[in-house]
Structure 1
Amino acid sequence: MVTRRAFIDATSAVGATALLGATPAAAGATTAPSAAGVTHAEARARDAIRAANVGMRASYAALKSELSTRLSPVIVVQNDATGGRFTLIRDGSPRGTVCPVPELFELAKSISHVPQGIFSILAAYISPTVPHLPNADRIDPHDLEMVAFKKPGSGGWSDPLQRYAATLDSARRQLVRANLPQELEDSCRQILDASLAYIGEAVSSGTCDTARFQRYSARVYPSIRTNMEYAAAAQISGVEGLMREWRATIGEERWKDLYTVVLSIWTTSELNQASIIIRRCMNPAKVATHLIDLSTVEVPHDPVAVALDNLARIVLDNVSAEMVLPTDPVVADAFKGKEDLLSVEILRQLGPTAGAPSASPSAKGSACPLHKQ
Structure 2
Amino acid sequence: MATRRGFIGSASGISTAALLGYSASPSAADSPLTDTTSAAAASVTQQQAKDSIFAVNAGMRSNYATLKAELVKHLSPVIVVQNDAKGGRFTLVTANGQESVNPVAETFELAKSIAHVPLGCFSVIASYLADKIPNLPNADRIDPHDLLLVAFNDDKSTAWIEPLQAYATTLTTARKNLPAAGLPAALTTSCGNILDAALKFINASVQAKVFDMKSFEDFSGSVYPDIRVNMEHAAQAQIKGVQDTMKTWRAKVGEAAWADLYCVVLSQWTTSVLNQNTIIIKDCMNAAKVATHLIDLPGLETPKDPIFTALDNLARIVQDNIAAEMVFPKDTKVADALKGKEDLLSDEILIQLGGSVATTQSAPTYNTLSEGMCPVRK
Q: TM-score, normalized by length of structure 1?
A: 0.83
State the distance in 2 between where 1:183 and 1:346 align: 56
Match of 1:90 among 90, 94, 98: 94
Instruction: Tell whether 2:155 aligns with 1:152.
Output: yes
Match of 1:6 in 2: none
Deviations 1:331-352 (A, max 9, x none): 1111111112211111122223
Structure 1 residue 217, shift from structure 2 partner: 0.5
Residue type of the partner of 1:48? S
Match of 1:135 in 2: 138
Instruction: Tell whether 2:271 aligns with 1:271.
Output: no
Match of 1:300 in 2: 303
State the distance in 2 between where 1:330 and 1:134 align: 47
Q: What is the aligned-residue RMSD (CA, Å)?
A: 1.4
Instruction: Tell whether 2:344 aligns with 1:310.
Output: no
Match of 1:349 in 2: 352
Structure 1 residue 131, shift from structure 2 partner: 2.4
Match of 1:166 in 2: 169
Moved over 3 A (4+): 352-356
Match of 1:243 among 239, 242, 246: 246
Match of 1:183 in 2: 186
For the residue of structure 2 that corresponds to 1:121, the secondary structure is helix
Match of 2:105 among 92, 102, 106: 102
State the distance in 1 between where 2:312 and 2:125 align: 41
Instruction: Tell whether 2:322 aligns with 1:319.
Output: yes
- Alpha carbons 2:104, 2:242 under 8 Å: kept: yes
Deviations 1:58-116 (A, max 9, x none): 0000000000111000000000000000000002x642100000000000000000000
For the residue of structure 2 that corresponds to 1:132, the secondary structure is coil
State the distance in 2 between where 1:296 and 1:208 align: 35
Larger CA Rg, structure 1 vs 2: 2
For the residue of structure 2 that corresponds to 1:261, the secondary structure is strand
Structure 1 residue 128, shift from structure 2 partner: 1.4
Match of 1:5 in 2: none
Residue type of the partner of 1:322? E
State the distance in 2 between where 1:215 and 1:278 align: 37
Structure 1 residue 130, shift from structure 2 partner: 2.2
For the residue of structure 2 that corresponds to 1:322, the secondary structure is helix
Residue type of the partner of 2:61? R
Match of 1:219 among 219, 222, 236: 222
For the residue of structure 1 that corresponds to 2:223, the secondary structure is helix
Match of 2:198 in 1: 195
Quickly say closer, same or farther: Cα 1:148–1:65, change in 2 above 3 A: same
State the distance in 2 between where 1:55 and 1:355 align: 31
Match of 1:41 in 2: 45
- Alpha carbons 1:331, 1:344 under 8 Å: kept: no
State the distance in 1 between where 2:97 and 2:220 align: 44
State the distance in 1 between where 2:163 and 2:356 align: 49
For the residue of structure 2 that corresponds to 1:213, the secondary structure is helix
Quickly say closer, same or farther: Cα 1:144–1:310, change in 2 above 3 A: same
Match of 2:255 in 1: 252
Structure 1 residue 354, shift from structure 2 partner: 8.1
Matching of residues 356-371 of structure 1 within 5 Å: none
Calculate percent identity across the aligned residue pairs. Answer: 58
Instruction: Tell whether 2:63 aligns with 1:59.
Output: yes
For the residue of structure 2 that corresponds to 1:101, the secondary structure is coil
For the residue of structure 1 that corresponds to 2:266, the secondary structure is strand
- Alpha carbons 2:130, 2:212 under 8 Å: kept: yes
Query: For structure 1, which segment, 227-236 or 297-306, has the greater mean C-alpha deviation from structure 2 after superposition?
Result: 297-306
- Alpha carbons 1:334, 1:344 under 8 Å: kept: no
Structure 1 residue 40, shift from structure 2 partner: 6.8
Residue type of the partner of 1:176? P
Match of 2:54 in 1: 50
State the distance in 1 between where 2:186 and 2:44 align: 78
For the residue of structure 1 that corresponds to 2:90, the secondary structure is strand
For the residue of structure 1 that corresponds to 2:93, the secondary structure is strand
- Alpha carbons 1:87, 1:94 under 8 Å: kept: no
Query: For structure 1, which segment, 294-303 or 345-354, has the greater mean C-alpha deviation from structure 2 after superposition?
Result: 345-354
State the distance in 1 between where 2:68 and 2:101 align: 27
Q: TM-score, normalized by length of structure 2?
A: 0.82
- Alpha carbons 2:104, 2:237 under 8 Å: kept: yes
Structure 1 residue 330, shift from structure 2 partner: 1.3
Deviations 1:242-291 (A, max 9, x none): 00000000000100000000001110011000000001000011000000
- Alpha carbons 2:347, 2:357 under 8 Å: kept: no
Instruction: Tell whether 2:81 aligns with 1:77.
Output: yes
State the distance in 2 between where 1:236 and 1:108 align: 14
State the distance in 1 between where 2:222 and 2:149 align: 27
Instruction: Tell whether 2:362 aligns with 1:337.
Output: no
Residue type of the partner of 2:91? T
Residue type of the partner of 2:113? S
Structure 1 residue 223, shift from structure 2 partner: 0.1
For the residue of structure 2 that corresponds to 1:264, the secondary structure is strand
For the residue of structure 2 that corresponds to 1:80, the secondary structure is coil
Give the number of equivalent residue pairs.
Answer: 317
- Alpha carbons 1:127, 1:152 under 8 Å: kept: yes
- Alpha carbons 1:68, 1:312 under 8 Å: kept: yes
State the distance in 2 between where 1:190 and 1:351 align: 56
